[in-house]
């Protein structure tokens, strides 16, 4: 196949992810749920990795009812043994693993407060899930991907890092760590055909209740963006599908803001 076909521009750029097996952590609700459903619609096989078994099965059922297939697995990303068991289960069932989306995170349950008032136990819990969880999942899948000679790891960070958003210091710090992890991991895994990138959403409004966000605050967030409406999970789906495909094969180590221009300067 020629490296460049001027008669058929884009011919060799492959967006097809049919049959790809993708683990999406925290996919029982919110952004992860949207990712899993979009991946299934695009022909991939999503693995809904979720601590809450009822939520995981509910998302898998939604996907099956739409005529696709999916697997729900109960997993705790903050526990190394649970993560390793999840990956082993996926390989035993499917025999391959093409992509990991590190989406699981503690955020919606956090109350806004000055950083001096953040309890150490809450700080540790956020770091354990948001940072260590991403590390453990990437470590587990990288072994499989190295053997295959290809793979995609997508870490979900946040544009709150660029904003320096106040009153969520533990969350913002954890998502900044994810960006550093993405950059260093991309350097280590690139030689094996594995890309590692981060998606940075703005405040994304899902079916998950956000008691700390008032209607006035929601309107102010939208007004601060170039696109003056609230962000939804569907706004992130296109980037995730692009990063899942071979069309993004030469994109790695990047932190890609999908935030309606909230951090555009």
Catalytic positions: 171
Distance CA 64, CA 159 (A): 33
Residue count of the chain, please give it: 265
Give 204-262 as a DSSP string. B--SS--TT--HHHHHHHHHTSSS-S-B-THHHHHHHHHHHSGGGTT--S-EEEESTTT
**Listed residue (260, 97, 237, 38) closest to 156, CA to CA:** 237
Other beta carbons within 10 angstroms of residue 207's beta carbon come to: 9
Distance CA 211, CA 190 (A): 41
DSSP structure class, residue 29: S
């Amino acid at each position: 196949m020629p490296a460049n076909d001027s008669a058929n521009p884009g011919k060799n750029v492959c967006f097809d992810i049919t049959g790809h097996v993708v683990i999406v952590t925290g996919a029982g609700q919110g952004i992860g749920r949207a990712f899993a459903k979009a991946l299934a619609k695009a022909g991939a096989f999503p693995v809904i990795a979720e601590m809450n078994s009822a939520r995981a099965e509910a998302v898998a059922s939604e996907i099956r009812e739409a005529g696709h297939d999916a697997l729900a697995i109960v997993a705790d990303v903050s526990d190394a043994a649970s993560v390793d068991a999840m990956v082993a289960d996926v390989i035993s069932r499917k025999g391959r693993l093409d992509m990991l989306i590190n989406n699981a995170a503690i955020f919606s349950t956090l109350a806004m407060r000055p950083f001096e008032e953040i309890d150490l136990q809450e700080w540790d819990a956020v770091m354990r899930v948001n940072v260590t969880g991403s590390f453990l999942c990437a470590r587990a899948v990288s072994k499989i991907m190295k053997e295959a000679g290809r793979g995609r790891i997508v870490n979900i960070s946040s544009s709150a890092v660029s904003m320096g958003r106040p009153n969520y210091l533990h969350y913002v710090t954890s998502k900044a760590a994810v960006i550093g992890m993405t950059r260093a991991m991309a350097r280590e895994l690139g030689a094996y055909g594995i890309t590692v990138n981060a998606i940075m959403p703005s405040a994304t409004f899902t079916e998950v209740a956000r008691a700390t966000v008032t209607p006035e605050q929601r309107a102010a967030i939208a007004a601060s963006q170039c696109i003056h409406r609230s962000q939804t999970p569907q706004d992130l789906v296109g980037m995730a599908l692009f990063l899942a495909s071979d069309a993004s094969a030469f994109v790695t180590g990047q932190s890609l803001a999908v935030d309606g221009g909230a951090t555009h300067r």
